[in-house]
Structure 1
């Protein structure tokens, strides 16, 4: 019998990986509140032109073997409440949220579960309504802080699922470093693309001033990481720029999509966190301070427009 998997969040990440799990015949159910469940039932999710009727997970189904969290950071508290009936002793929780702190919140909410560190890298999925499209799903990087560790069996359980589904994945020796590397990525590309409302192609151009701002914001992450005991270097920045070159030039980051749609963004998890880390460590972070102010101002303007 294949393990039971639940996923909360059917945006670009959840629908993209969820479609591959369904195609592989995995026992997958989507966790949703009543309103979203009704919308999912009324209209299929279309992934790269193909409709998917994602099965819904019922609260009385009992604990799942694996729970995948694929919501935005601002929806994490709600996702935790929705997941409670589905998380039991030994459930492996995989958080694909951006940022560096969602696993702490999940561990506090589910002490009986095995919460692994995780992230997705290189995914360029775009969601519009019930439709998701992508040219790359990148890979899922996950594991314990150091691998192999005491939860190696649970890590392998997840790896086996991903192998069957053909989802590219990696279990690095130093997962903490990888999580901070993804944080470096998001702080730069997500925030700058959200401010200028541009697709990847603008930031892929070497002579674009916006690319220089992205890199400057990411160098501040390197500085606060080092001051916090995490060893990031310029090599990590170059590694990101190689990934950037391979992303669909006409696709948008999730944060740019949110900003263009007038939705709240994840700025507090990105620039907000960098500013707080800079305060704690005494590291100057002027670029992220400006990005935080611009993006919060952008949110305020959108909120007024919505009320009007």
Structure 2
């Protein structure tokens, strides 16, 4: 029997990976509430110019084998409520959310399931209403905190699904470190791009935007080291290599949200950094300023 995959979240990331899984013949269903299903049904999702016929469901009779969570952090609690009937003891959950706490929230909500650590990197998908465009889907990095671990069979089962669909992936030996590396990326480029409304090309060259991005990311390195997570300048260099290969005219997900007037993930980025800075005694002045600017921007938009 083919494994059943449930996707929650049909934004740029969800639609990008979901389209690849669907086109490969994976048994994929998109889980959403009735209002969203009606909205999705009125206009099909188009990925790189091609309509994708996603199977949309509000519930299912049997638990899923794999759940992919691709909503924004602010919608995670709603997604958990939708997912409750879909999750059983044999379900594996991958969260593709930005930040470093969604797995903890999901594990608390679904103790019967296996929640693996996961992230996507190198994806440059952009959503405009029901249309999604990307030049690269990058790869999904996932696994247990240390690999191989006691859940190696579940990790291998997910890898088999990705192999069948042609989804690039990596199972690193130290997944916690990789999660923090992605967090370093988000704290820098996502927040600065959201403030200035700029695409990747602005960060691919030397200049003020790139300098502020790097300054925010160096604060992540300092906090991570205080917590015993060994990030360093080599990780910053690794990000700059990835950045150089992204579509120059594409935008981070947070910049897309800001430009569309939607709430951003600042609480998961600078907000978390400020809390961790206070906990560890590490100063985070750049992130404190970014937090203030993004919150002020959201307040101004809310009054319009």
Normalised by the length of structure 1, the TM-score is 0.98
Alpha-carbon distance between aligned partners in 1 of 2:254 and 2:32, rounded to the nearest angstrom: 22
Question: Residue 244 of structure 1: SS of its match in structure 2?
Answer: helix
Match of 2:55 in 1: 55
Q: How does 1:15-26 map to 2 (within 5 A)?
A: 15-26=15-26
Match of 1:239 in 2: 238
Unaligned 5+ residue runs, structure 1?
Answer: none
Match of 1:219 in 2: 218
Detail structure 1 runs of 4+ shifted over 3 Å in the superposition: none
Aligned pairs, how many? Answer: 304
Match of 2:106 in 1: 106
Match of 1:6 in 2: 6
Alignment check: 8 A CA contact 2:273 2:284 kept: yes
The 10-residue stretch of structure 1 (125-134 or 37-46) with the greater mean CA deviation from structure 2 = 37-46
Unaligned 5+ residue runs, structure 2?
Answer: none
Alignment check: 8 A CA contact 2:34 2:58 kept: no
CA deviation profile, 1:196-221 (whole Å, cap 9, x unmatched): 00000001112x11100000000000
Residue 58 of structure 1: CA displacement? 4.1
Alignment check: 8 A CA contact 1:30 1:57 kept: yes
Match of 1:265 in 2: 264
Match of 1:201 in 2: 201
Q: How does 1:131-142 map to 2 (within 5 A)?
A: 131-142=131-142
Match of 1:276 in 2: 275
Q: How does 1:82-93 map to 2 (within 5 A)?
A: 82-93=82-93
CA deviation profile, 1:127-168 (whole Å, cap 9, x unmatched): 010000000000000000000000000000000000111110
Q: How does 1:140-155 map to 2 (within 5 A)?
A: 140-155=140-155
Match of 2:163 in 1: 163
CA deviation profile, 1:69-111 (whole Å, cap 9, x unmatched): 0000111000000111111112000000000000000000000
Residue 42 of structure 1: CA displacement? 2.0
RMSD of aligned C-alpha atoms? 0.6
Alpha-carbon distance between aligned partners in 1 of 2:226 and 2:275, rounded to the nearest angstrom: 13
Question: Residue 25 of structure 1: SS of its match in structure 2?
Answer: coil
